[in-house]
């Protein structure tokens, strides 16, 4: 298939996934704000949401102090924030529009309908009213997107690039979420797992739809290292890093065919780390170090995929 | 002042003064019978349903000069335009004849120029900016230049059709012919039981077959692609739609490159050779090395490969010289010259403002003429005298005087009207018709057309960029259809009407 087409499909899927994850972060932060004394201040509660998206400086330049109303607007609706849900969905739709031929008409119509529906939230003050519904809608739309791809697309390269986009983006988001939360909850002098804030951690779990899974697997109180294990090493947990690499690696094997691509090697290496790694060793190395390293490697993997398949000028 | 719409030929109603039951044209009888029981709000809700569906599918176009990202729907009218089998056979034969002659003209003008030697077309045509000297002596497969031609037709009476213009560069609108039909079948399935309407949805297959047929000899299984300027082009939806229907890649200039006298596209598995390019980019933008050097849309080196026979372009480079408004006047003569036949379709009488006396006449009659830029399209840069204000006329007069040869003038035609759903109900609006003629091994056209309708009351400009809409065009498979329900109701009346219409038919 055309490299440009593959590029658009890949980014379409990444942006949809990005919107979903942003929706999850907003939702979970919002529910935390309803728990009494969940954080010292409004700023302490909402800052992590900004950190996950990696745009704290840009936010402060535009809005100043960290306030719930502003953060919600910035992350959900601000067209000037390239990571806002608005921007992500718009980009997803623009990418889809550029290659509508390469997908099934159902897939295209689904994304186009998403963009038309988005209008109902435009101009709405979500901080006051309707944030929950909005986040639910974003998630549901993302589920629908994956479903329509899975249910209607031919299992060819186009499908592979859509899947690739979804899981590269998801791995990045899960790693960031875990990193930000873990970092904040564990002051340096405190021992791992020393202070467990049940609400914080259950919120993290819920944000990746893992609360029930946790209960089912561990049937125990929620402790940070098990949350980390669930989101890093458990391959049966669909938003974990391991599960993402389980999807990415075989796709790159198949797309590379007989070619020796750096992205294939890198994904194999990352995959092995998650497949054969032990939580104990990861904690010894430091979870934060492990996660930052993972985020970097995942970024490089993205760049290598770009170089091998998507660039306009493969040299 | 404008003529009242009542004084124009109406596609549905023959005699506007007759009592209701007698004035409907024969082919519309069954439709009228159906329509009279449909309340306005029901039609209106169908129209809204169509709009919603079109928006959902993304059948939109971009208007140049509007804020970026503005996507608009072309208004769709739920009342179809009907063409009888007899009318169609005449129109299609005429359109085919015209395109055959135009292709022969293009071959001639880029080779021996016999038509100039014969004194039929003046030598000045070689100075036309649409004449591409780069094409001189270049042989194209099957000697076909205009693989896809859109012939714009207007009607002024029961029997009088005129060719308004030929579109031989990158004619657009065929997606509306196809999508409007799908929409009508969805909204009004019952009407498709009353009428035997010729199907149009095989158009992409015919086109693909033709495009494959014009690959260079020796290419076994040609790779065909559609070259589009990209998602921000006004006709992008159509490019995507047709490529999808034909199952070919939709490429942009950046996806293609030239190497060793061949064109390749960049794919995830490396370069792939391309044999036929259905291009929807104008000549000027197609190769920055030869034409507009600022073009980001084209492919550097494409023209050189093309001239050496390494790739086929459809339409060919240089077709603009044949659909130019200054060339238009010679088409009837071309038909006689190349085919030895009498033209089946007439041209609109045209004044060439490069000629002193015709310029004089035009300047004296601006208020009743339509003046067009020779190379203009899309309804831009034209004056519709009867609808223009004094100031507009005076302003246009100056423009003409600054370069008369840039303009032609035609009488304001009494374009036929067709009943159209507007806010106040059903009212007559002016329409035109653009069938698409396809040339490959043979010259054919599918029985259908883009029907454009000027939605503004009294307006004669049907272009979508100027607020025009579209209608589905129903070409009837046979005029001897039996509107069964109608006959059951009133067998006698139908018999009487048929006699009436046979009289009317024999006039043309």
Cβ atoms of B129 and B282 within 8 Å: the answer is no
- CA-nearest of A60, A104, A110 to A81 is A60
Interface test with chain B among A5, A95, A99, A100, by most B beta carbons within 10 Å:
A100
- CA-nearest of B454, B368, B429, B502 to B8 is B429
CA B71, distance to chain mean position in Å, is 22
pLDDT digits (tens, 9 = 90+) for B28-40: 999 999 998 999 9
Cβ count near B304 (within 10 Å): 15
Of B58, B243, B255, the CB nearest to A108: B58
For residue B63, pLDDT beyond 90: no
Cβ neighbours of B263 in A, within 8 Å: none
Of B231, B244, B269, the CB nearest to A98: B231
Using a CB–CB cutoff of 8 Å, tell me whether B270 touches chain A.
Answer: yes
For residue B277, pLDDT beyond 90: yes
CA of B24 to nearest chain A CA: how many angstroms apart? 40
Q: How far apart are CA B235 and CA B171, in angstroms?
A: 10
Q: How far apart are CA B218 and CA B220, in angstroms?
A: 6
| DSSP element (H, E) containing B371 | strand B369-373
Per-residue pLDDT at A39: 65
Grade residue A292 by pLDDT with cuts at 50, 70 and 90: very high
Per-residue pLDDT at B424: 86
pLDDT digits (tens, 9 = 90+) for B381-405: 788 888 889 999 999 999 999 989 8
Percent of chain A with pLDDT over 90: 58
If one compares B20 and A270, the residue with the highest pLDDT of the two is A270
Interface test with chain B among A1, A2, A90, by most B beta carbons within 10 Å:
A2
The yes/no answer to whether this complex scores an ipTM above 0.90 is no
Residue of A nearest to B225 (CA): A2
If one compares B492 and B397, the residue with the highest pLDDT of the two is B397
- CA-nearest of B507, B483, B503 to B493 is B483
Among A36-45, A163-172, B64-73, B275-284, where is mean pLDDT lowest?
A: B64-73
- Residue B301 forms beta bridges with which residues? none
Per-residue pLDDT averaged across A3-8, rounded? 93
Q: Which of A54-58, B374-378, B446-450 has the highest mean pLDDT?
A: B446-450
Q: Using beta carbons and an 8 Å cutoff, which residues of A are at the interface with B?
A: 1-6, 94, 97-102, 105, 108-109, 112-113, 116, 157, 161, 255, 257, 309-310, 312-314
- Residue B267 forms beta bridges with which residues? A2, B270
User: Whole-prediction pTM value?
Assistant: 0.83
Q: How far apart are CA A199 and CA A32, in angstroms?
A: 7
Cβ atoms of B238 and B230 within 8 Å: the answer is no
Cβ atoms of B80 and B28 within 8 Å: the answer is no
Per-residue pLDDT at A192: 46
Residue A221 CB partners (closer than 8 Å, separation 6+): A196, A198
Grade residue B295 by pLDDT with cuts at 50, 70 and 90: confident
Per-residue pLDDT at B2: 44
Per-residue pLDDT at B481: 53
Per-residue pLDDT at B21: 58
Ramachandran angles phi, psi of A78, nearest 5°: -70, 115
Grade residue B497 by pLDDT with cuts at 50, 70 and 90: very low
Q: How far apart are CA B71 and CA A83, in angstroms?
A: 24
Ramachandran angles phi, psi of B369, nearest 5°: -110, 165
The residue assigned the tokens 């309804």 is: B379
Taking each continuous run of H as one helix and of E as one strand, the counts in chain B are 16, 23
- CA-nearest of B426, B438, B432 to B470 is B432
Give the CB-side neighbour count of residue B451, counting CA atoms within 13 A.
Answer: 29
Per-residue pLDDT averaged across B300-319, rounded? 96
Grade residue B17 by pLDDT with cuts at 50, 70 and 90: low
Per-residue pLDDT at A34: 80
Where b means 16+ CB within 10 Å and e means fewer, A280-291 reads eebbeeebeebb
Kind of pairing between the strands at B312-314 and B249-251: unpaired
Q: Do B268 and A157 touch (CB under 8 A)?
A: yes
End-to-end CA, chain B: 31
If one compares A132 and B5, the residue with the highest pLDDT of the two is A132
Of A2, A255, A257, the CB nearest to B265: A2
Cβ neighbours of B232 in A, within 8 Å: none
Cβ neighbours of A9 in B, within 8 Å: none
Where b means 16+ CB within 10 Å and e means fewer, B244-265 reads bbbebbbbbbbbbbbeeeebbb
Per-residue pLDDT averaged across B45-65, rounded? 83
Using a CB–CB cutoff of 8 Å, tell me whether B247 touches chain A.
Answer: no
Grade residue A194 by pLDDT with cuts at 50, 70 and 90: very low
Per-residue pLDDT averaged across B465-491, rounded? 71
Q: Do A314 and B240 touch (CB under 8 A)?
A: no
For residue B500, pLDDT beyond 50: no
For residue B19, pLDDT beyond 70: no
Cβ atoms of A87 and A71 within 8 Å: the answer is no
Residue B371 CB partners (closer than 8 Å, separation 6+): B353, B362, B382, B383, B385, B396, B400, B407, B408, B409
Considering just the CA atoms, what is the radius of gyration of chain A in Å?
19
For residue B188, pLDDT beyond 80: yes
Cβ neighbours of B58 in A, within 8 Å: 97, 100, 108-109, 112
Q: How far apart are CA A62 and CA A78, in angstroms?
A: 11
* Region of residue B484 (left: phi > 0; alpha: psi -120 to 50; beta: else): alpha
Cβ neighbours of A94 in B, within 8 Å: 231
Q: How far apart are CA B290 and CA B134, in angstroms?
A: 9
CB pairs under 8 A between A and B: 62
Q: How far apart are CA A136 and CA A130, in angstroms?
A: 10
Q: How far apart are CA B122 and CA B102, in angstroms?
A: 16
Cβ neighbours of B270 in A, within 8 Å: 314
Burial of residue A187 (CB within 10 Å: 0-12, 13-18, 19+) is: exposed
CA of B237 to nearest chain A CA: how many angstroms apart? 9
Among A51-65, A159-173, B107-121, B365-379, where is mean pLDDT lowest?
A: B365-379
């Amino acid at each position: 298939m055309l490299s440009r087409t593959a590029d658009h499909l890949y980014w379409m899927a990444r942006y949809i996934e990005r919107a979903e994850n942003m929706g999850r972060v907003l939702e979970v932060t919002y529910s935390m704000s309803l728990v009494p004394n969940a954080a010292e201040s409004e700023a302490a509660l909402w800052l992590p949401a900004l950190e996950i998206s990696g745009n704290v400086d840009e936010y402060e330049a535009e809005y100043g102090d960290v306030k719930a109303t502003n953060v919600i607007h910035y992350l959900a609706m601000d067209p000037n924030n390239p990571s806002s849900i608005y921007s992500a969905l718009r980009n997803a739709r623009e990418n889809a529009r550029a290659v509508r031929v390469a997908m099934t008409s159902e897939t295209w119509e689904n994304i186009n309908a998403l963009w038309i529906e988005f209008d109902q939230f435009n101009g709405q003050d979500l901080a006051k009213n309707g944030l929950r519904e909005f986040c639910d809608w974003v998630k549901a739309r993302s589920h629908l997107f994956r479903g329509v791809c899975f249910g209607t697309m031919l299992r060819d390269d186009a499908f592979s690039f859509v899947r690739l986009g979804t899981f590269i983006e998801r791995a990045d988001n899960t790693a960031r979420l875990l990193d930000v939360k873990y970092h904040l909850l564990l002051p340096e002098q405190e021992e791992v797992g020393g202070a467990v804030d049940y609400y914080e951690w259950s919120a993290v779990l819920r944000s990746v739809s893992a609360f029930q899974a946790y209960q089912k697997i561990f049937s125990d109180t929620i402790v940070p290292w098990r949350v980390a294990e669930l989101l890093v090493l458990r391959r049966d947990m669909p938003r974990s890093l391991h599960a993402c690499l389980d999807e990415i690696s075989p796709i790159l094997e198949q797309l590379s065919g007989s070619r020796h691509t750096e992205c294939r090697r890198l994904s194999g290496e990352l995959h092995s780390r998650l497949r054969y790694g032990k939580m104990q060793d990861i904690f010894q190395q430091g979870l934060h170090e492990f996660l930052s390293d993972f985020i970097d490697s995942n970024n490089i993997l993205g760049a290598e995929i770009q170089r091998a398949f998507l660039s306009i000028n493969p040299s | 002042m404008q003529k009242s719409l009542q004084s124009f030929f109406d596609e549905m109603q023959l005699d506007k003064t007759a009592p209701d039951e007698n004035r409907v044209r024969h082919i519309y009888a069954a439709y009228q019978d159906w329509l009279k029981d449909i309340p306005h709000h029901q039609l209106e809700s169908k129209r809204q349903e169509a709009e919603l569906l079109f928006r959902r599918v993304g059948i939109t176009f971009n208007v140049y000069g509007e804020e970026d990202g503005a996507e608009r729907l072309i208004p769709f009218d739920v009342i179809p335009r009907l063409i009888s089998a007899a009318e169609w056979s005449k129109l299609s034969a005429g359109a085919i004849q015209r395109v055959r002659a135009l292709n022969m003209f293009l071959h001639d003008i880029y080779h021996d120029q016999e038509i100039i030697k014969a004194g039929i077309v003046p030598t000045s045509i070689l100075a036309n900016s649409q004449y591409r000297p780069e094409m001189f002596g270049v042989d194209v497969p099957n000697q076909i230049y205009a693989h896809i031609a859109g012939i714009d037709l207007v009607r002024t009476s029961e029997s009088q059709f005129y060719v308004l213009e030929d579109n031989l560069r990158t004619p657009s609108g065929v997606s509306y012919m196809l999508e409007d039909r799908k929409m009508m079948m969805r909204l009004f399935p019952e009407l498709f039981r009353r009428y035997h309407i010729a199907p149009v949805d095989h158009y992409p297959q015919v086109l693909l077959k033709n495009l494959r047929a014009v690959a260079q000899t020796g290419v076994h299984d040609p790779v065909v692609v559609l070259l589009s300027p990209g998602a921000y082009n006004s006709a992008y939806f159509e490019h995507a739609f047709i490529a999808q229907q034909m199952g070919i890649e939709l490429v942009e200039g950046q996806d293609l490159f030239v190497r060793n006298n061949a064109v390749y596209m960049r794919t995830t598995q490396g370069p792939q050779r391309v044999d036929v390019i259905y291009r929807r980019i104008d000549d000027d933008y197609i190769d920055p090395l030869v034409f507009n050097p600022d073009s980001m849309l084209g492919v550097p080196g494409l023209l050189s490969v093309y001239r050496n026979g390494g790739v086929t372009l459809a339409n060919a480079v240089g077709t603009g010289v044949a659909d130019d408004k200054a060339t238009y006047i010679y088409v009837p003569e071309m038909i006689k010259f190349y085919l030895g036949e009498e033209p089946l379709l007439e041209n609109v009488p045209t004044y060439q403002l490069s000629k002193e006396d015709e310029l004089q006449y035009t300047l004296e009659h601006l208020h009743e003429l339509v003046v067009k830029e020779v190379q203009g399209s899309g309804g831009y840069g034209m004056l519709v005298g009867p609808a223009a204000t004094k100031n507009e006329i005076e302003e246009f007069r100056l423009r003409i005087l600054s370069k008369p040869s840039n303009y032609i003038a035609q009488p304001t035609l009494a374009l036929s009207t067709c009943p159209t759903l507007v806010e106040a109900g059903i009212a007559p609006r002016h329409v035109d018709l653009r069938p698409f003629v396809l040339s490959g091994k043979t010259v054919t056209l599918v029985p259908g057309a883009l029907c454009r309708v000027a939605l503004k009351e009294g307006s004669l400009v049907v272009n979508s960029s100027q607020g025009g809409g579209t209608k589905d065009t129903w070409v009837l498979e046979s005029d001897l259809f039996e509107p069964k329900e109608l006959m059951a109701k009133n067998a006698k009346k139908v018999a009487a009407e048929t006699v009436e219409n046979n009289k009317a038919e024999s006039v043309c």
